[in-house]
């Protein structure tokens, strides 16, 4: 932020000169660039927390019942008596880890950061459609993050029903202690989060539709903006459904209604609720839940499209097909949610329909992968750290995507649903891909965010440790899952009672996984260090460090209100004219008019 602080004064733009106070500049800022950075900082903090939580429960899984100083240091006597993690807290850690990673890091953090930063800059707008709502969106996100974080310190523990918080478990404080105050906080936090996400998404949609600069037709938009745009639409259509699911759950918890509850006896107490259906909740949840996984993934794919094209010095292959796949994925993602419910007692015929739609979604996904690969073909690849991460993303998208095909086949899902195979699938395809995409974005647009360069060598080291570490964590989980090991188990000693060989295999693999997890986690220190060090002391960034075509690189390095001094740029071509024959340079920015007789593409 140093550069901004020193150099932003005395700027001259359309809005005229006005002094900004510290508060309006750094805290209640309405500038999209600052808000993007606020999202990023909050998300980085939440991400570190969630990663730490995962290390805590991985220790238990690898060395069950062994005393650990590390555990008692972080969890104290209440949750880790004698340095052994308690059963309940294990579930609490798993739940909050999942929630933070999916919603706070990969939804709020990823979309919040990059939609905010890039949409106005890449469509050629002075700011978001509504700066005030944008600010509100961040502060809602902030409050919900605080609530979620605070819920870790509640006396009865955080929510413990898994990130999907299926009732009745999440509705009954007597069923598990985390369903008391911890779950209340979870529900409030998520409700505020949803409000934040809705406000943000509406803003993104309006900005993309209305504030494109002259010449920026929809088919000249960078794929990043297309991805953010479709993501925002998914969010607007699906998050309200999660909100209603949460509100009904709150009513079951507080007002004695029976939306999700029926004929229950818990801890010896017979409840009067009758006629509710736990499946209703699952339908509502996954109606958001599945689009949500694409809300997480699409922005990452958008970022990497841009990065791969720039650093291969080639146009992205099949630009229109890429847009088509984004739209197809967006549409299909709304009609596949039932694949999470094959064995819940849902009508089997309905199951068949979801098998069909789910497998359809693999087609646009495959198209995207092949297009990325063809973009690399005969390119002239420059390995910036961002490029490494983007290629890593394509690999994990493939590796995790193919196992989806097995899971989507309901007849096979019976045998592996809710095992570690599923955990492997979604961590690779969603977790890793989105995290790699987010890192790629940070390395690539850091110069735009902070006016400084990050250190390249540290970036390399960070990438290789992360890729090897993460594959090392999640790949063996396939084998654990195929051995039938259920997920969300505190330990696997039950295997010892019926199948000693498999028990040993599971335990061997669990140790391997935990060791890789620790390596990968330590690797992130390199990133954190690089990130913060470069903010303050990194070398000054040139205006267009990656020799890129898109509009954001035509803005001055110093951030100014309104983005461009003087008039807004006019766009004359698509953003992917890299290595176009007959051009002097190997890139042609979107603002360069077509030469006489030049075809657009």
Partner 1 sequence: MAKLFVLLVIILGVIALAQLMRVYELSSKLTNKKENEISNRDNRLNAKLMLGFMLFLFIGFIWMMLKYGWTGRGPAASVHGEQTDWLLNLNFVIIILVFFLTNALLFVFAWKYVKKPGVPAFYYPHNNKLEMVWTVIPAVVLAVIIILGLNSWNEVTDKAKDDAIRVELFSYQFNWNARYAGVDNQLGKYDYKLNDDAANPLALMTTETIDKAIENMITGPNGIEDLENKLNDPKKVYSEEMRTDMEESLARKEQLIRLLYQMKARNTGKYDKRAKDDIITDTLYLCKDQNYELTFRSKDVIHSAYIPHLRTQMNTVPGAITRFKVTPNMTTQEMREIKNDEDFNFILMCNKICGGAHYNMNMVVVVMEKEEYDVWMKGEWKKMDGEKRLMKRGKIHEATFEHTYYKKEPTKTYPEIQAEKAEAEAAKAKEAEGEDGEEPTDGGDVVDNEDGQTT
- Among 422, 442, 465, 485, contact with ligand HEM (rule: CB under 6 A): 422
414 binds, among Cu ion, ligand HEM, partner 1, none (CB under 5 to 8 A by kind): partner 1
Site string for partner 1, 330-369 (x = CB under 8 A): -------------xxx--x--xx--xx--xx-xx--xx-x
Give the 3-state secondary structure of residue 419.
strand
Of 313 and 488, the one with the shorter C-beta distance to ligand HEM is 488
Q: Hey, which residues does 269 pair with through a beta bridge?
A: 266
Q: Hey, which residues does 578 pair with through a beta bridge?
A: 587
What is the CB-side half-sphere exposure of residue 395 using CA atoms within 13 A? Answer: 12
Q: Hey, which residues does 452 pair with through a beta bridge?
A: 540
Which of 137, 169, 139 lies closest to 23, judged by CA? 139
What CA–CA distance (Å, rounded) separates 455 from 533? 9
What is the footprint of ligand HEM within residues 324-363 (CB under 6 A)? 339-340, 358, 361-362
- Among 33, 212, 290, 427, contact with Cu ion (rule: CB under 5 A): 290
What is the footprint of ligand HEM within residues 429-448 (CB under 6 A)? 429-430
Torsion angle (degrees, nearest 10) of CA 564, 569, 575, 580:
-120
Site string for partner 1, 285-324 (x = CB under 8 A): ---------------------------xxxxxxxxxx---
Contacts of 252 (CB under 8 A, 6+ apart): 167, 171, 258, 259, 260, 261, 273, 276
* Count of residues that interact with ligand HEM, criterion CB under 6 A: 23
175 binds, among ligand HEM, partner 1, Cu ion, none (CB under 5 to 8 A by kind): partner 1
What CA–CA distance (Å, rounded) separates 530 from 385? 12
* Count of residues that interact with partner 1, criterion CB under 8 A: 146
Of 111 and 549, the one with the shorter C-beta distance to partner 1 is 549
Q: Hey, which residues does 477 pair with through a beta bridge?
A: none
Per the CB < 8 A criterion, the answer to whether 109 and 12 are in contact is: no
State in angstroms the smallest separation of the CB of 357 from ligand HEM: 10
For residue 104, what are the CA distances in angstroms to 41, 138, 188? 11, 12, 14
Q: Which stretch binds Cu ion (CB under 5 A): 287-295, 316-324, 419-427, 523-531?
A: 287-295
Based on the shown chain and the rule CB under 8 A, indicate whether residue 197 belongs to the binding site for partner 1.
no
Number of other residues whose CB lies within 10 A of the CB of residue 582: 7
State phi, psi for 540 to the nearest 5 degrees: -65, 140
- Among 118, 408, 477, 551, contact with ligand HEM (rule: CB under 6 A): 408
What is the footprint of partner 1 within residues 530-559 (CB under 8 A)? 533, 537-539, 541-542, 545-546
What is the footprint of partner 1 within residues 362-401 (CB under 8 A)? 362-363, 366-367, 369-374, 376-384, 388, 391, 394-395, 398-399
Of 41 and 505, the one with the shorter C-beta distance to partner 1 is 505
Alpha helix positions (H), 158-261 = 181-210, 223-254
- Among 264, 301, 303, 551, contact with partner 1 (rule: CB under 8 A): 264
Of 290 and 452, the one with the shorter C-beta distance to Cu ion is 290
Torsion angle (degrees, nearest 10) of CA 15, 18, 22, 24:
-40
Q: What is the DSSP letter of 269?
A: E
Question: How far is CA 434 from its chain centroid?
Answer: 5
Q: What is the DSSP letter of 452?
A: B
What is the footprint of partner 1 within residues 447-506 (CB under 8 A)? 447, 453-457, 460, 464, 467-468, 471, 475-476, 479, 482-484, 486, 488-494, 496-502, 504-506
What is the CB-side half-sphere exposure of residue 334 using CA atoms within 13 A? Answer: 14
What CA–CA distance (Å, rounded) separates 57 from 64? 10
Of 259 and 426, the one with the shorter C-beta distance to ligand HEM is 426
Of 125 and 423, the one with the shorter C-beta distance to ligand HEM is 423
- Among 26, 45, 63, 188, contact with partner 1 (rule: CB under 8 A): 63
Question: How far is CA 528 from its chain centroid?
Answer: 18
Helix (H) or strand (E) run with residue 270 in it:
strand 269-270
What is the footprint of ligand HEM within residues 277-316 (CB under 6 A)? 293-294, 296-297
State in angstroms the smallest separation of the CB of 154 from Cu ion: 24
The residues binding ligand HEM (CB under 6 A) are 164, 293-294, 296-297, 339-340, 358, 361-362, 365, 401, 404-405, 407-408, 413, 417, 422, 425-426, 429-430
């Amino acid at each position: 932020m140093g550069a901004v602080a020193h150099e932003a004064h005395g700027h001259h733009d359309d809005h005229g000169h006005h002094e900004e106070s510290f508060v309006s500049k750094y805290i209640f800022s309405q500038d999209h660039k600052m808000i993007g950075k606020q999202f990023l900082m909050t998300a980085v903090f939440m991400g570190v927390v969630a990663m730490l939580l995962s290390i805590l429960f991985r220790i238990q899984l690898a060395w069950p019942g062994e005393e650990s100083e590390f555990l008692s240091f972080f969890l104290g006597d209440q949750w880790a008596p004698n340095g052994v993690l308690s059963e309940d807290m294990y579930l609490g850690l798993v739940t909050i880890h999942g929630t933070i990673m999916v919603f706070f890091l990969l939804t709020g953090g990823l979309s919040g950061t990059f939609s905010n930063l890039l949409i106005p800059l890449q469509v050629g707008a002075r700011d978001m459609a509504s700066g005030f709502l944008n600010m509100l969106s961040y502060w809602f996100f902030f409050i919900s993050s605080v609530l979620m974080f605070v819920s870790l310190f509640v006396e009865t523990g955080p929510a413990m029903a898994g990130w999907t918080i299926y009732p009745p478990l999440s509705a009954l404080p007597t069923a598990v202690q985390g369903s008391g105050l911890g779950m209340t906080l979870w529900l409030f936090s998520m409700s505020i989060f949803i409000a934040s996400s809705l406000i943000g998404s509406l803003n993104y949609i309006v900005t993309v539709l209305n504030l494109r600069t002259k010449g920026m037709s929809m088919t000249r938009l960078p794929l990043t903006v297309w991805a953010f745009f479709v993501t925002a639409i998914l969010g607007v259509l699906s998050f309200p459904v999660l909100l209603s699911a949460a509100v009904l759950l709150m009513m079951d918890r507080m007002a004695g209604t029976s939306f999700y509850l029926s004929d229950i006896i818990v801890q010896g107490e017979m409840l009067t609720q009758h006629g509710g259906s736990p499946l209703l909740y699952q339908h509502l949840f996954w109606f958001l839940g599945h689009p949500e996984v694409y809300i997480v993934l699409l922005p990452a794919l958008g970022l990497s499209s841009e990065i791969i094209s720039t650093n291969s010095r080639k146009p992205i292959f099949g630009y229109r097909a890429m847009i088509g796949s984004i739209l197809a994925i967006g549409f299909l993602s709304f009609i596949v949610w039932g694949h999470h419910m094959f064995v819940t007692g849902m009508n089997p015929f309905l199951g068949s329909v979801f098998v069909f739609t789910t497998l359809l979604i693999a087609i646009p996904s495959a198209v995207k992968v092949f297009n990325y690969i063809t973009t690399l073909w005969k390119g002239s690849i420059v390995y910036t750290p961002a490029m490494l991460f983007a290629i890593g993303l394509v690999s994990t998208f493939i590796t995790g995507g193919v196992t989806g095909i097995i899971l989507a086949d309901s007849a096979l899902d019976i045998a592996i649903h809710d095992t570690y195979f599923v955990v492997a699938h979604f961590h690779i395809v969603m977790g890793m891909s989105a995290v790699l995409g987010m890192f790629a974005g940070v390395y690539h647009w850091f110069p735009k965010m902070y006016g400084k360069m990050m250190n390249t060598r540290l970036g390399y080291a960070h990438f290789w440790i992360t890729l090897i570490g993460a594959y090392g964590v999640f790949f063996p989980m396939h084998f654990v899952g195929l051995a039938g090991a259920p997920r969300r188990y505190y330990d696997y000693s039950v295997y010892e009672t019926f199948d000693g060989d498999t028990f040993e295999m599971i335990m061997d693999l669990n140790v391997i996984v935990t060791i890789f997890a620790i390596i990968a986690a330590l690797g992130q220190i390199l990133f954190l260090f690089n990130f913060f060090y470069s903010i303050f002391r990194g070398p000054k960034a040139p205006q267009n460090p990656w020799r890129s075509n898109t509009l954001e690189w035509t803005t001055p390095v110093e951030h100014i209100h309104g983005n461009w001094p003087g008039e807004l740029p006019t766009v004359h071509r698509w953003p992917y004219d890299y290595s176009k024959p007959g051009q002097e340079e190997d890139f042609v920015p979107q603002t360069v008019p077509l030469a006489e007789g030049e075809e657009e593409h």
